[in-house]
């Protein structure tokens, strides 16, 4: 079967302002989340892009935006979500909307996505069905991809999470393995939103068996207990039953 080779998969995003085209950005893709609601038919496929630091474009000096911010984007075919995380959580920015919508940027001007193209490289992959196969592929340094299927029976949501396995643990004497990987996209169906992209949060995924997973989800978190200062941190832990599969791209 074929899976995405995330080492060679990108978006090419051409942006513009009121004066015309101003930049083309290539962003490597880190994870995928496909969502569908069985009742409403609402669906979407989204990718998490590699993050960066807020920057002014093509200045000879003063490129770094101050105060600094961690910047990331969730890309969809019809909509995207840009998020900025500052040292002070109160200054964070989340901008979600359809492609081409004009948004106010850090410098106070207006910019928008003029054209977005996905460059996805799909390759043949080999399912790893046993612990022995997973351990061998890990120790042979084969590129690997994981896939986890989540079902929310109450709200009729079905989600498929996919992610490259850049980090793996194995214990050969006992035939054990453990995935610890992130950030990926986690769908929080308790969030109220008009579009599936609004459900997505950043998370780490962990498991050492193929029928159960744990997530550490990035949420507003108190810096010091008893004080009001918050930051964004992977502090919310969720454990659930779910089916996972591992694949080797080293044929």
pLDDT tens readout for residues 54-97: 999 898 899 999 999 999 999 999 999 999 999 888 889 899 98
Q: Is residue 115 scored above 90 in pLDDT?
A: yes
Q: Report the distance separating Cα 192 and Cα 195, nearest Å.
A: 9
Q: What phi, psi does 33 have (nearest 5°)?
A: -140, 120
Asked if the structure places residue 40 within a domain, the reply is no
Shared domain for 63 and 156, answered yes or no, is no
Asked if the structure places residue 59 within a domain, the reply is yes
pLDDT range class, residue 37, cuts 50, 70, 90: confident
Shared domain for 106 and 140, answered yes or no, is no
pLDDT of residue 207: 98
Asked if the structure places residue 38 within a domain, the reply is no
Query: Which of 104, 119, 134 is where one domain is finished?
Result: 119
Domain with 92, as residue range(s), is 2-30+47-119
Query: Which of 90, 119, 148 is where one domain is finished?
Result: 119
Shared domain for 10 and 87, answered yes or no, is yes
Shared domain for 61 and 103, answered yes or no, is yes
- Those residues whose C-beta lies under 8 Å from the C-beta of residue 124, and which sit 6 or more positions away, are 1, 2, 249, 251
Shared domain for 138 and 84, answered yes or no, is no
Shared domain for 156 and 235, answered yes or no, is yes
Query: Which of 97, 119, 141 is where one domain is finished?
Result: 119
What is the helix (H) or strand (E) element at residue 225, kind and residue range? none
Shared domain for 86 and 194, answered yes or no, is no
Shared domain for 149 and 92, answered yes or no, is no
Asked if the structure places residue 42 within a domain, the reply is no
**Three-state SS for 136?**
helix
Q: Is residue 227 scored above 80 in pLDDT?
A: no
- Supply the pTM of this predicted model: 0.94
How many structural domains is the chain composed of? Answer: 2
Closest CA to 54 of 85, 24, 33, 27: 85
Shared domain for 13 and 111, answered yes or no, is yes
Shared domain for 65 and 105, answered yes or no, is yes
pLDDT of residue 216: 98
- Those residues whose C-beta lies under 8 Å from the C-beta of residue 140, and which sit 6 or more positions away, are 250
Shared domain for 14 and 51, answered yes or no, is yes
Asked if the structure places residue 208 within a domain, the reply is yes
Shared domain for 137 and 179, answered yes or no, is yes
Q: Is residue 251 scored above 70 in pLDDT?
A: no
């Amino acid at each position: 079967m074929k899976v995405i080779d995330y080492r060679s998969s990108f978006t090419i995003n051409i942006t513009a302002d009121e004066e015309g085209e101003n930049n083309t950005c290539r962003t490597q893709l880190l994870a995928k989340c496909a969502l569908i609601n069985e009742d409403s038919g609402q669906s979407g496929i989204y990718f998490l892009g590699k993050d960066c630091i807020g920057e002014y474009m093509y200045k000879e000096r003063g490129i770094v935006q101050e105060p600094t911010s961690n910047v990331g984007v969730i890309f969809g075919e019809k909509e995207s979500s840009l998020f900025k995380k500052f040292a002070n959580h109160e200054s964070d920015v989340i901008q979600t909307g359809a492609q081409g919508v004009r948004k106010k940027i850090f410098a106070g001007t207006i910019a928008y996505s003029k054209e977005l193209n996905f460059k996805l490289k799909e390759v043949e992959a080999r399912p790893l069905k046993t612990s022995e196969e997973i351990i061998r592929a890990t120790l042979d340094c084969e590129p690997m991809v994981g896939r986890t299927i989540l079902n929310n029976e109450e709200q009729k949501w079905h989600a498929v999470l996919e992610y490259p396995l850049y980090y793996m643990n194995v214990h050969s004497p006992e035939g054990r393995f453990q995935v610890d990987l992130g950030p990926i996209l986690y769908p929080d169906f308790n969030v109220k939103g008009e579009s599936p992209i609004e459900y997505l949060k950043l998370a780490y995924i962990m498991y050492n068996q193929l029928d159960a997973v744990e997530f550490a989800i990035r949420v507003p978190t108190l810096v010091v207990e008893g004080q009001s200062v918050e930051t964004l941190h992977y502090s919310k832990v969720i454990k659930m039953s779910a089916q996972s599969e591992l694949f080797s791209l080293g044929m």
